Amino acid sequence: MKKIKFKNTVNLAETKFGSKIIYKTDEFFGAANRILSSSKPVFKEGVYDKHGKWMDGWETRRKRKKGHDFLVIKLGRPGKIFNVDIDTSYFSGNQPSQASLEACLSKKNPNKKTIWKTILNKKKLGPDRNHNFKINNHSTFNFIKLNIFPDGGVARIRLNGIVDLEKINLSGKNVNLSSILNGSTIVGCNNEHFGKAENVLSPGVGVNMGDGWETRRSRGKNFDWIVIKFGKPGIINRLEIDTHHFKGNYPESLTVQSALITNKINSNKILKNSKNWKIFLEKAKLKPHKKHLFKSNLNKKNKVNCLKINIFPDGGISRIRAFGKIVK
């Protein structure tokens, strides 16, 4: 069965983290907050608003004086950034010539006295494409400044990295260990035909079926699976499997396996070894459009940092929430 591997990073700029735009020099043609959307950019033929052609992204007016445009993003969680994708999809003839990134770590919103660190020097941008750049400064930041030269439009910015839990005080608290807000990532899954696996780690309730993990229809004997790695190990005291919005396509049942992986091994080995992990929850029935709570029937003795959820035979899950306390 084919395995889908992930990079164990998340887009720290997504709004589901609580990330938001706190300042922009201009947004005449396109609202700055569109740049943080998790959806793919779209083009709407013939759609205009009071400022001109509607574009799915942040777009400034044409500069008629010296200087450049920029915006400031406040990350919902402080993190280390490994890669940035500056996406100019559908901006052709109106994309910036160049872009750069600066960053800082601050308890307060940046001001004129803030000392910014350049984490990406000026890079050329082309029309209607993704621009992936490696970030070599792996310090922890919670504010990002995107500079565009001199003006123009950017569809999306994706800041791929990891949440730095050392900057968040979670000790002694009962938290969702499997949430992206607390550093969890998807190691891999066998299928995500209709809905992305990473959606199950999102905070809140799913908006619709598209905001969950859904596999294709299986034929014959089969089960689908997903492997989650926590940001920090912990002891789980409550497990929630949420099938909200999945009514005719929910899994019939599931089992859950767990492990504690302390040494650094790659995703391939984690996925290969996962079939032999200890049973954390024996096979349990699932129902449509419902939050399923498991407490008494969990194997709660051991510290874990990985879960494998096996669903039978296929279907969709909106959210997976593993509540517990972080243990060193």
The CA distances from residue 209 to 49, 222, 327, in Å, are 31, 22, 34
The enclosing domain of 270 has a CATH number of 2.60.120.260
Domain boundary residue, one of 111, 142, 164: 164
For residue 97, pLDDT over 90 is answered with yes
Task: Give yes or no: residues 160 and 211 share one domain.
Answer: no
What local confidence, expressed as pLDDT, does residue 2 receive? 59
At 301, the pLDDT band (50, 70, 90 cuts) reads confident
Q: What is the average per-residue pLDDT within 296-311?
A: 92
The amino acid at residue 157 is I
Residue 4 maps to a domain: no
Q: In sequence order, what DSSP letters do the residues of 164-201 get, joined into one string?
A: -GGGS--TT-EEETT-GGGT-EEEEES--SSB-GGGGG
What local confidence, expressed as pLDDT, does residue 323 receive? 97
User: Residue 269 in 3-state DSSP?
Assistant: helix
User: Residue 124 in 3-state DSSP?
Assistant: strand
Domain total of the chain: 2
What local confidence, expressed as pLDDT, does residue 224 receive? 97
Residue 5 maps to a domain: no
What local confidence, expressed as pLDDT, does residue 137 receive? 96
Tell me the per-residue pLDDT of 4-53, one tens digit each, with 9 for 90 and over. 666 678 899 999 889 999 999 999 999 999 999 999 999 999 999 999 99
Residue 144 maps to a domain: yes
Task: Give yes or no: residues 213 and 88 share one domain.
Answer: no
Task: Give yes or no: residues 275 and 307 share one domain.
Answer: yes
Residue 1 maps to a domain: no
Residue 255 maps to a domain: yes
Task: Give yes or no: residues 174 and 276 share one domain.
Answer: yes
Task: Give yes or no: residues 19 and 148 share one domain.
Answer: yes
Task: Give yes or no: residues 71 and 189 share one domain.
Answer: no
Task: Give yes or no: residues 117 and 212 share one domain.
Answer: no
Question: What's the domain range around 244?
Answer: 169-326
CA 224 to CA 114: how far, in whole Å?
Answer: 49
Task: Give yes or no: residues 310 and 212 share one domain.
Answer: yes
Residue 225 maps to a domain: yes
